[in-house]
Structure 1
Amino acid sequence: MGYNVAIDGPAGAGKSTIARMVAEEKGFVYVDTGAMYRGLAVYFLDRGIGPEETERMEKACEAADVTIRYEDGAQQVYLNGENITGRLREEAVGNMASRCAAVPAVREKLLELQRRLAKEQDVIMDGRDIGTCVLPDADVKVFLTASVRTRAERRYKELKEKGENVNLAEIEEDIRERDERDSTREIAPLKKAEDAVLVDSSRMTIQEVVRTIAALCRK
């Protein structure tokens, strides 16, 4: 049985960055759920399934197996035993992943695959509903958050460094709206699990957050 760490939290809280760093420090597998959606998208595209063909997606899911491995410190995504990592960033794959993520059967398939990974390996997984839905029995649950202002400032700085012309107030409003959508959606809404540890990173450095979460892991 694997040792499981679940990190949930709102958009812009730094979940993926923190999860990857904790995974590296503890020797766990970071389960990139977005990459898994892209893996299924490759599977659908290779079978000529269009983004609107939800019934074909549902049937095709039955024979798809997407898994994540780490080789030489780099994440590799395998689809039915074939390494497809090099195809994950193709535009068509990204567009298909976005569409198929809304299909309940696809979500169920990935839920099955994610839980299997968690059963077989020591994993850390981040998202909106990991501790409440995907891994309700996780050994460690963390709800990572930061103030809306802090998250907006981080995003503003990130985009500015890329040379984009952005407005801090608009980014802050976008984050507020996304928080509202994520916490009120019908399927797997964003919420803190009752037994999750709240970590507010508003006044913490990335290294401090990593140390805090790593210290919660008893393995």
Structure 2
Amino acid sequence: MPRRGIITIDGPAGSGKSTVGRLLAQRLGYLYMDTGAMYRALAWKALRMGIALEDWEALTRLAEVSHITLSGDPDQMRVAIDGRDVTEAIRSPEISRAASLIATIEGVRRAIVAAQREMGREGGVVLEGRDTGTVVFPDADVKFFLDARPEVRARRRLEQERAQGRDVSFEQVLRETLERDHRDQERSASPLRQAEDAIYLDSSEMNVEQVVERMLEIIRQRLPEETSSRSVHS
């Protein structure tokens, strides 16, 4: 039986990667991998252990010995580290900020990327993150780069932050979004960039369903045997 497809979705924070990735995986009957959740799980463990975010050597060792898993259906993905479910615990702003810093460490990324490749090597997977198409699976079958204007992404994140009870202004979230963009694009280890063979999609004026439908159209063209042999629901 031929290997099933590997689909990657990269892009900046707030572009809609997670929502789109989950729905796309559902439609294809694929495993969904939120690669950023793995960095958040490691950040959660580091903070609990009292490891300073500036201690790159300790964080690299932690990444090398930690066992992070993603499981469950796309809309109910569970994240565990060393057997402990941390799905809800890793969604706080504090963990997100710590994960963003940890993700700049080359040794940490090397360990996490190795784990991601192992989980996705059999195919039948949709990965979303910032380097899934450039570093994790540079030979992926279909690559997307999902983007949106900074103010649109900030508005989306503002809604998420307020839903979590955080009292924050649009100006603050926009500033944090731009700072995150700069950090992701300028880091030495796997900087955020569009792969040369990735398909660029701007979601600023598109809803989730429109983005997913456009991706499915492209996947059907690129992987006709795979999509015709499976039930892909529109």
TM-score category, normalised to shorter length: 0.7 to 0.9
Hey, what's the Cα distance between the residues in 2 that align with 1:41 and 1:183?
20
The verdict on how the C-alpha distance between 1:49 and 1:12 changes in structure 2, with shifts beyond 3 A counting, is closer
8 Å contact kept, 2:66–2:81: yes
The verdict on how the C-alpha distance between 1:69 and 1:189 changes in structure 2, with shifts beyond 3 A counting, is same
8 Å contact kept, 2:132–2:138: yes
Hey, what's the Cα distance between the residues in 1 that align with 2:123 and 2:143?
17
* CA RMSD of superposed structures (Å): 3.4
| Deviation of the 1:72 alpha carbon | 9.6
Unaligned runs of 5+ in 2: 227-234
| Deviation of the 1:155 alpha carbon | 3.9
Hey, what's the Cα distance between the residues in 1 that align with 2:182 and 2:79?
32
The reply on whether 1:19 has 2:21 as its aligned counterpart is yes
The reply on whether 1:166 has 2:155 as its aligned counterpart is no
Which residues of 2 match residues 100-179 of structure 1 at below 5 A?
100-156=102-158, 164=167, 166-167=169-170, 171-179=173-181
| Deviation of the 1:87 alpha carbon | 7.2
- Residue-pair matches, total: 215
Residue number among 55, 65, 68 corresponding to 2:67 in the alignment: 65
Instruction: Name the structure 1 match of 2:39.
Output: 37
> What are the superposed Cα offsets for residues 176-203 of structure 1, whole Å, 9 maximum, x if unpaired?
4443443233222222111111111222
| Letter of the structure 1 residue corresponding to residue 25 of structure 2 | A
| Letter of the structure 2 residue corresponding to residue 136 of structure 1 | P
8 Å contact kept, 2:23–2:74: no
Instruction: Name the structure 2 match of 1:215.
Output: 217
| Deviation of the 1:36 alpha carbon | 1.6
| Letter of the structure 1 residue corresponding to residue 79 of structure 2 | V
| Letter of the structure 1 residue corresponding to residue 169 of structure 2 | V
For residue 120 of structure 1, give the secondary structure of its aligned residue in structure 2: coil
The verdict on how the C-alpha distance between 1:63 and 1:212 changes in structure 2, with shifts beyond 3 A counting, is same
For residue 191 of structure 2, give the secondary structure of its aligned residue in structure 1: coil
Unaligned runs of 5+ in 1: none
| Letter of the structure 1 residue corresponding to residue 51 of structure 2 | G
> What are the superposed Cα offsets for residues 6-39 of structure 1, whole Å, 9 maximum, x if unpaired?
1111222111111111111111111122322244
8 Å contact kept, 1:31–1:124: yes
Deviates more, 1:66-75 or 1:131-140: 66-75
8 Å contact kept, 2:117–2:136: yes
Instruction: Name the structure 2 match of 1:4.
Output: 6
Hey, what's the Cα distance between the residues in 2 that align with 1:118 and 1:36?
14
Instruction: Name the structure 2 match of 1:202.
Output: 204
Deviates more, 1:103-112 or 1:157-166: 157-166
TM-score by length of 2: 0.73
Instruction: Name the structure 1 match of 2:85.
Output: 84
The reply on whether 1:187 has 2:189 as its aligned counterpart is yes
TM-score by length of 1: 0.78
